Structures are given as C-alpha cells and as structure tokens.
Structure 1
Amino acid sequence: MTNCQVPAALIHQIEQELDEDEKEMMLFLCRDFIPDLPTADLRELLGALNERGKLSRLGLSELLYRVKRFDLLKRSLRTQKAAVEADLARYPRLVSDYRVLMVELNEQLDKKEVNSLIFLLKDYVPRMKMAKDKSFLAVAIDLEKQNMVAPTELELIEECLQNIHRIDLKKKIQKYKQEALMAPSSAQPMYINALQASLPNLTLVDPPYSSGVWNMNKEHPLNGQHAIQTAPVHVSIQESGIASPQVPDDRYRMQSQPLGICLIIDCIGNDTDMLEETFQEVGYEVHCYKYLSVEAMNQTLHEASKLQKHKDCDSFICILISRGSSQSIFCTDQPFPGFSLDRVKQFFTADSCPSLLGKPKLFFIQSYIVTATNHEPTSLLEIDGDEQKINTNAKRTWNCIPKAADIFWSQCKVDVSTLERSPTSSSFYLHCLAEILRNPQKRKLSLLDIHIELNRRVYDQNKFCHPTQHYSLLLWHTLRKKLFLSPS
C-alpha cells in the first residue's frame, strides 16, 4: 500500500462527525507525526499529514478504528472493522503500540480515577501543574514533557494504577512491555517526546529511527512561587572553564587534549580493539574493559565517574556492548534483570559527576536482545556506589526524575541469535560508526548528521537480512548546542 492524498472534503466530513473526546484521542495518536504543529487542531493536523504524504485512506481508517468510530468506517470510508484489522496485521501501522495503549487506558479510566492519579502524582512531580478535571491523555502529555512517561518508561503509571487498585490496567501495561521486548523496534512508528514536539529545532526530520528528548528542569523563583523552565538552557561559557572566543555560542567547546575520556566496556569481546583505535584517532583517552560482572560493572562506572581528568576535558564517551534487554545489560554473570541502562546514565549526570556539567556526554550501546523467560523479575537491578546512597522514596522515583542535560544516547538492538550465528563478528552498527569517524570528511559533520549517516547504512543493510537479524536504532538526546567530534 502506498500513501496517497485523501480528499479534503473527506477529512472535513470526518472531523465534523467527531466529538471533543474523540478529537483529543486522535490528536494524541498523531502527536509523533507533525512535530512542528504541536498545537494544531485535528483538521489542521490531518490536513498537514495529508499534504506531506503521510496520510492514506488506510491510515485514516486506522485512526477511526482506534477511536472506535466503526460507523464512520462504514459510512465515510466504505470499509468494515474486520477489513481494517486485516490491513493492520498486513501493512505497516500509522500509530505506535505505545500511543494505542495510552488511549485504551484513557477510555477505561473514569473522571474520579484520573483525579486520583493526578493527586498521587504530587509525590513525584509536586511542582508540575496538575489541574483537576484533566483527561488521562492530557496528564500523559504533561508527563511526556518531563520524560517521566515514554514507550519504555511506564513504571510511574503502573505504580499509580496499583495505588488506585486498577490492577487490570497495570497488567495491560505489563503485557505491552512483554510484547515490546520481543518485537523489533524497527516495526514501530517513531516516537517523539512531547517536549521535542515543542522544540522543532531539535527534531530530526523524518528519521528512520525513534527519537525522544530528555529535558532538564530548572527552578526560578517567581513572586514567591517556583516556576519550571522547560526550554533549553543556553550557556555561552563552558561551565568547567574559560571559553575560547573562537567557539561559536551555538557549539560545544571541543578543544581540550584529549577531547575526553572514552570508556569502552565490551562484554562480548569482538569490538574493543577496533573502537579503541578509532577513538584514539578521534582524540580521546580510551579506557577499555572486557567481560565484566555486574559488580565489576558497577565499580568501573563508579570509578570512571570520579576521574579528576573530567574537569580538564570537554566531553565524555561511554560505549557498552553486551547481551541484554531493551532497558538493561546482562554483563557476564547476571541474566535477567541485569544492570539498568538508566543507572549507567545516572553515573554521569551533572548531579553525580559535577565535572561533566555542561559538557556533552555520549553513549553508544550495542544490545544483543535476549528474550525474557517466565522467571524474569519485574524490576531491574540497581547497585548504589559507595558515595551515592539514596533514600527509599528516591529509589521509588529513580527513573522518573529528569536531571540529565547534554546527553546523546544511541542504542542499537539486534536479536541475540545474530551473535550466536556468528560469535566472533563485529557489530555492524559499531563497525559503521568506526568507519564514519575514521573518514576525515565525515568527521567534520555534526554528531546528529553522523548519526543520520549511521542510520542510513544500518537500515540499508537491513534490506538484505532476514527480519530476525535486523538492527534497530533508537536515539535520545538533550544536546543544547551543535557538537562536532573535532577540535573547535
């Protein structure tokens, strides 16, 4: 099926037939597609999708199916519910499973329950505006802006549903998460964080990978109250030292020698030498570790975060290669649940590693995905460093507090069978990254442009592979400036 334009008259007719709740659901379902129209009404949104070739009759049928307007399917599109279901099983879908899940939760929560959720959320986001009588979808959008809810971050919603005794809905989320672990992410439509939708300058237009944005909140006193500034914070002077007058305000300073520490942790053992040589050539001091246990992983990350050399460097890179799940790495001695990837990031955020404040922190993760078993625990292992003890309430909200800025997080997933089929082969994703960075001309590109080139190569390779061997890429970032991996 190819995308083709839908008559404007048909869009107008359908929009007129929908009530306000149905329009809100459709707008939520379509949030990822037109990031430069974040406040559009439904007719504007559908019109923009149509003009850009992103809306077909099949896509329109899917939207009506998702809001259960089967009468309009029959009357306006001359199709039936069963036919749409067959098409959804056969062709790529317009809407991600995550957005469908949130709409289903919205439909099954009554007004009183949503107000209870809003009240419970005060434990997690006491300063976020949580007006009564919001719909669940409006609450979800607010949480997306804080990076507290995303396709892979649903623990907060689960805990709140548990507290209002909607165990049935909590189980629905757990089922979604289990299915997401086994499904290739390349089959999912892209996800764009609600904050990113309001910042089109950070949006990578039509990337073939999912992209989201974390944001760092900054409090400012306002008439005796506290307001939250969610816009990017522009800093013209590198926080860790004196800025060079030659560095443009919209670029990160990259002049230190070395440019930074590059930490490589390879629990598979196939890529260390290639990566070490590559990042030494780029200008980094490379520290390599192989075959770490969970305890050794925690100790290595802790020690790396405390290195005094960070204060004299302009950036930091961490590369992890391991079997794992979408949210954890297994190291060499611990399968499920493994070591939380969120915990890896947390070692190097500004609060844990002040000497990296305001400096770009880059993470490249190659995850060989292992399917969960029935014995998998429900939570990820998190080990605290000696100097990072946290109280019970902080642990409960660990994954929900948006502290990170200046982070670039590129994660590549491929089924572990690819590794088992060729145990000594390099990761195609990391091989391409190294090849691009070794090319003097390619290295002059911004990091985001380098990643687009990386995506192109990986997804071109997927065309010639069996679906079980497809590499899928996910990019999140909170970069506030342009970043070039060359002195500037």
Structure 2
Amino acid sequence: MMWLSCLENKNNLKGQWPAVTVRKVPAAILHQIEQELDMDEKETMVFLCRDLVPDLSAPDVRKIFVALNEREELTDTSLAELLYRLKRFDLLRKFLGIGRAAVEASLSRCPQMVSNYRVLLTEINEDLDKDDLDALVFLLMGDREMSYAKMAKDKNFLAIITDLEKLDLVSPDQLDFLENCLRNIHRKDLAKKIQKYQREAPVHTIGTPALYANALQVLPKLTLVDPPGIVSKGRLLNGPYATNAAEQVQISIPETGRALAQKSLQVSDQYRMQSRPVGICLIIDCIGNDTGTLVDTFNTLHFEVHCRPFLNADSMMHELYTVAGLNEHKDYDCFVCILISRGDHQSIFCTDHVVPGFPLENVKRFFTGDTCPGLLGKPKLFFIQNYVESGNQQENASLLEADGNLCTIPQVADILWSQAMLDASTLDRSPDASSYYLSALTELLIDPHKRGLPLLDVLVELNNRIYEWNRTNTTKQYKLLLKHTLRKKLFLSPR
C-alpha cells in the first residue's frame, strides 16, 4: 500500500509527503440513499448543505453528493451526520452500520459539518404545522416585501427561509426578523430557540459556515531538522531543548489525606508537563461509545483535544499525517493518541472494515522523533481499545497479558503503549456499551487520590482493575498489553 511504503522510505520523509487519496463513498450507495429519501427529506438535505456547495446552481441531492464526493469531503462521517439530521436512522444502520447513539455521541463532542444556523432552522421547520405556516405567510403579506409574500404562498418553511436569505432579511447573524415573526404567530417557544442560538453562538463564527473537522487539507511538509526558534531563558522543555541543570521546581500538591510526593523534584528525574495546553490528544473513535468521557478527561488534564469519529482507513492515515505535521508540537510537552475500533491483535479495521486493516505498528511511526521532530524527547502515549473480531483473536489462556508479544514495539524512546483487546461479540451484543478499560483509565487519570503518582503507577492500578474485572466477568474477558520506553517519571494528572 502507498501509505505504508511511504513511511518506510526515508527519502520521502525529507521532502514533500506523497499525495494521499481518500476513498470516496461509492456512487452505488449514494444512489440508493437518494432513492430512499422522499421529497421533503431531499429539500431538507439541500437546505442543510447550501453553505457547503454555494457554487451549485439549482442544487439537488444528487448534485450535492457528486460535488462533495469530488472534493473528497463526503466521508462516512459526514454522510452519517446528514442522515442523522434527516432522522433517517434506518439508513444509518443499513448503509453505514452505525446507530443513532454513536452519531449523537460524536456530534455532542466534536466539530460538525452542518452549521448550527441551518440545524436550528431545520428543527424549527419540524416544529411548525400547516396552520403555523399559513399564519407566517399571511403575516409576510403585510410586510414591505409584498412581491416576496405572493411568491411564498405555496412554499414550505425552508423554501421561505431561502428566499428571505436572498432578500437579506435572514442570515446566521440576522435572525431578529424571523424571531419577531414567530412571536407574532404565537410560537414563542420557537422564538426562544433563536434567542438561545444567538446567546451560544461565538461572535467570530456567526455568519460563517461551520468547519468540518475531517475536511481534507493540503498535507504539510515534515522535516528532519530540529524546529527553529530560540528558547527563552528560564524555560525548561522536554526534548532537544531540555536543560541538563538539576534545577529545583516547586510543585504545589493538593492534600488528599496523606503526603503524596515530595514538593521539590529534580527536573532531570521527570518529564516537563507545564505547557498550556500540555499537548495534543488525538482521539480516533470508530465505535462511538466512549468519546464524551475521553474528551472531558483530557480537557481536564489541559490537553488540546482533536476528536475524529468514524474514520475509514484512508481518512485515518491522512489524519495521522496531518496531526504529526502540526507546528504546535514544538511548544507542547506531550502527545496522546487514543484509538478505538474493531480489528485484530495487530491491526484496526476502521469504519470501512479494511482487511488486513491498519497496522498498529505503523501508528507510532508518525510521531517518533525522526518523523515528528517537535516530539523528539517528549512522552508519546498511545491507548488502544481494540474489539477483536472472531477468527482474528490470538489464543491466550491468561486473563491478563501484561507484557506479551501481541504487538512489537520498537525500542524508540519516550513511548508508552497500552492496548486492551475484547472480543467483538461483546460489542455486537451491546452496541452502546462503554469499554471498561477506557472507563477505568479515565477514572484513574482524574482521581484526586492518584494525581501525585507517576503514570506508570496509575497504569499498574489499571492492570489490577482489569484483572479483577476478568475474574468476575467470564464472558467479557479483556486482554491487556502494556509496554513502554519512558526514560523519566511522568505525572499526567493535574497536581
């Protein structure tokens, strides 16, 4: 595969990365989805996507699908969002194999494709009955835009809004006219929805379409040269700028009932974790049951969280390239990557279920010091929840594999690898069930009684919890792999 060979070719790392091709949604699937939609649903989809394809004249669903697909912006994730907005949960399951809860979990925590403005108006459209619409049209007939009102007589609400947008009476930052209309037809509940939107919409985003988190961008160049810049006096860093002086750093430790650690620690004995944000936390969740808890946890730990739900294999590879190329790494102290997917003990399948899958061994290569200089000498933490499908799970009689050979980790410094495996049949029986491994991990990371402990000590406690779980849950057996090449103590939780 191209994405695999380019990682192994060192010459490629010195210059421009090769172009990455993201798999388009098959035209046959798009055609079937279009055939399943009724006229009202098609009109709603056109309205939702108007900001995404502003250059289309007389857009319809087919034209929108073609345009987004050609721009490589129509992924499983974006298609899932559109079907969710139409409340076609049956099509989510039929064509994408995911449920309503999974999409809701990602939309509640991650950037969306459709703007909040268009979501608001489609929700208002759903709440208006025929009498409300007749009253609204009658009200508009008394407005100064008489010619418009005559045109609007036989149109639905979204078509009326589209015409009001053309007249510059309604826009993302101009909703007072519509709010007054709704009040005048005695729909104060809908007027309050507009007020809530106006209160919550950030000033800098009003009037602009929402940015889609998984939209493709030009791949950045990655260099083997140390990042430029002069370190200010007194600033201590991990990596190539780390000081060798045994300077004392005073760290305030909240009391938790007993002395947790010394208040004065040698910098040379521990990784620096003082930047704000501490680092980037990349979450790629192809299941959708644990995203919210993970986002909350790593926000609490002062990470800049990048959430990327429901990626296919090509999109995942592109996302890893993009995050590895971010300039911010040179200013941050740590990096975290969390992967959740079906797979086998060596690979993950992502949403398109590519077999043999995306090799886990290659995930780390994006972030080692030679391919990502900004992370040289800094801790790189990987947490993997892999739902192993039948026939792919390695036989192992032990309940807890603490240091097995399920995945070979090269001797690259400053890496921690924690991987949990659970039979995918558990997920099939309970599609919305959370991972106990991830739940226990997040609980321990923010536990005030654990914040004075090094991360490795916290993970020993995690091992113990998984062991106890396996003793009492004979049908849901976790296999756990923990390996690391950390060189110093790492205190991840706030202290």
Q: TM-score range by the shorter chain?
A: 0.3 to 0.5
TM-score scaled to structure 2, two decimals?
0.44
Choose 1 or 2 for highest CA Rg.
2
